[in-house]
C-alpha cells in the first residue's frame, strides 16, 4: 500500500532546509518521493509503511515539523528529470562563486566590511547550490562531509569578519571608499537580477527552483542595503553604516552556515 503524508515544517524557508530534509530522509528505503512546497512550508512524503520513522527523523532536525494528515495513494509518482533546470543552477552557482571573489577582493581594497560580508553571502549561496548539485548520486557520508566542510569554512570566515568589524568600531579605521562600495554592490545587484531572471525563465513548479528564487530575491535586498550603506558613508562621512550592514550580513551568513552544518549530523 502506498501512502501520502503531509507535514508542516514551520522553519523550512530556503534551499538549505530542503537539503536538510532530503539528506535526513534519504536512507529510508520505503520512502518513494518527496514533494516540497517551501512558500507554504509543506512537505509531502510518498511512502510505504507507517509514518513513525519519518516523523522521528524530521523532529531531529528541529525545524518545528508536525504531521498534518496521511492518506492512501493509488500509484507511485513519476519522478521527472529537468536537465535545463540543472544547467540553470550551474550558471547561478558560477555567478555566485565569481562574485564571492570579486566582492571579497574589492571589499578589502576599499576597506568596506559591507562588501566583504556580501561576498560571504554569495559564497553561502554558491555552497547551497553546489551541495544540491553535488548531492545527486553521492553517498550520504560524502554529502555530510561536504556539508560540514562548507559550514565550518563559512563560520570561520564570518568570525574573522566580526573581529574586524569590532576592531574598526573601537579603533580609528579610515572611512571606506564609498564609490567602490556602491559600484561593486551595483554589479552584484545586476548579477543577482540576472540569476533571478534565469530561474524565473524556467517557469518551474519544482520546490528547489522556487526556493532558489526566494534565496536570490533576498540577495538583491542585501545588495541594495550595501549600496544604501555606501550612500550613507558619503553623506555622514562615517564608517558606521558600512560596519552596521556588514554585521547584519555576517549574522545572516552564520545562520545559514549553522543550518548547513545540520546536514552533516
pLDDT at position 81: 45
Q: How far is CA 91 from the centre of its chain?
A: 16
Lookup result for grid cell 527523523: 57
- Grid coordinates representing 123? 559564497
* Nearest one of 209, 30, 33 to 21, comparing CA atoms: 33
pLDDT at position 174: 76
Q: State whether residue 163 is helix, strand or coil.
A: helix
pLDDT at position 204: 57
pTM above 0.75, yes or no: no
- Between CA 131 and CA 137, with CA 135 as vertex, the angle to 5 degrees is 160
pLDDT by 10s per residue, the chain, length 265: 788 899 999 888 766 677 778 777 877 888 888 888 877 889 989 888 778 889 988 888 888 899 999 988 765 554 444 556 678 778 888 998 999 999 999 999 999 999 999 998 888 778 777 766 665 555 556 666 766 777 788 788 888 888 888 888 887 667 899 999 999 999 999 998 998 888 787 665 555 556 667 667 878 989 999 999 999 999 999 999 999 999 998 988 888 777 777 666 6
Compute the distance between CA of residue 97 and CA of residue 142 in angstroms, rounded to an integer.
21
- Looking at domain 2-73, which CATH architecture does it have? 2-Layer Sandwich (3.30)
Q: What are the residue boundaries of the structural domains of the chain, listed by start?
A: 2-73, 83-262
Compute the distance between CA of residue 169 and CA of residue 244 in angstroms, rounded to an integer.
10
pLDDT at position 79: 47
Amino acid at each position: 500500500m502506498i501512502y501520502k503524508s503531509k507535514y508542516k515544517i514551520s522553519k523550512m524557508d530556503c534551499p538549505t532546509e530542503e537539503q536538510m530534509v532530503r539528506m535526513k530522509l534519504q536512507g529510508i528505503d520505503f520512502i518513494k518521493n518527496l514533494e516540497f512546497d517551501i512558500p507554504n512550508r509543506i512537505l509531502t512524503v510518498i511512502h510505504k509503511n507507517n509514518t513513525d520513522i519519518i516523523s522521528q527523523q524530521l523532529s531531529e532536525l528541529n525545524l518545528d515539523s508536525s504531521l498534518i494528515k496521511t492518506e492512501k495513494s493509488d500509484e507511485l509518482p513519476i519522478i521527472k528529470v529537468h536537465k535545463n533546470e540543472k544547467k540553470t543552477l550551474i550558471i547561478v552557482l558560477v555567478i555566485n562563486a565569481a562574485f564571492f571573489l570579486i566582492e571579497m577582493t574589492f571589499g578589502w581594497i576599499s576597506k568596506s566590511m559591507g562588501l566583504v560580508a556580501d561576498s560571504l553571502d554569495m559564497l553561502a549561496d554558491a555552497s547551497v547550490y553546489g551541495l544540491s548539485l553535488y548531492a545527486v548520486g553521492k553517498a550520504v557520508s560524502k554529502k555530510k562531509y561536504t556539508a560540514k566542510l562548507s559550514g565550518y569554512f563559512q563560520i570561520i570566515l564570518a568570525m574573522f569578519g566580526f573581529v574586524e568589524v569590532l576592531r574598526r568600531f573601537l579603533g580609528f579605521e579610515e572611512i571606506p571608499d564609498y564609490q567602490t562600495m556602491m559600484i561593486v554592490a551595483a554589479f552584484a545587484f545586476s548579477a543577482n537580477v540576472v540569476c533571478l531572471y534565469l530561474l524565473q525563465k524556467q517557469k518551474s513548479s519544482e520546490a528547489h527552483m522556487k526556493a532558489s528564487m526566494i534565496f536570490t530575491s533576498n540577495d538583491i535586498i542585501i545588495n541594495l542595503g550595501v549600496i544604501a550603506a555606501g550612500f550613507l558613508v558619503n553623506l555622514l562621512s562615517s564608517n558606521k553604516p558600512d560596519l552596521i550592514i556588514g554585521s547584519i550580513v555576517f549574522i545572516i551568513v552564520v545562520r545559514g552556515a549553522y543550518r548547513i552544518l545540520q546536514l552533516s549530523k
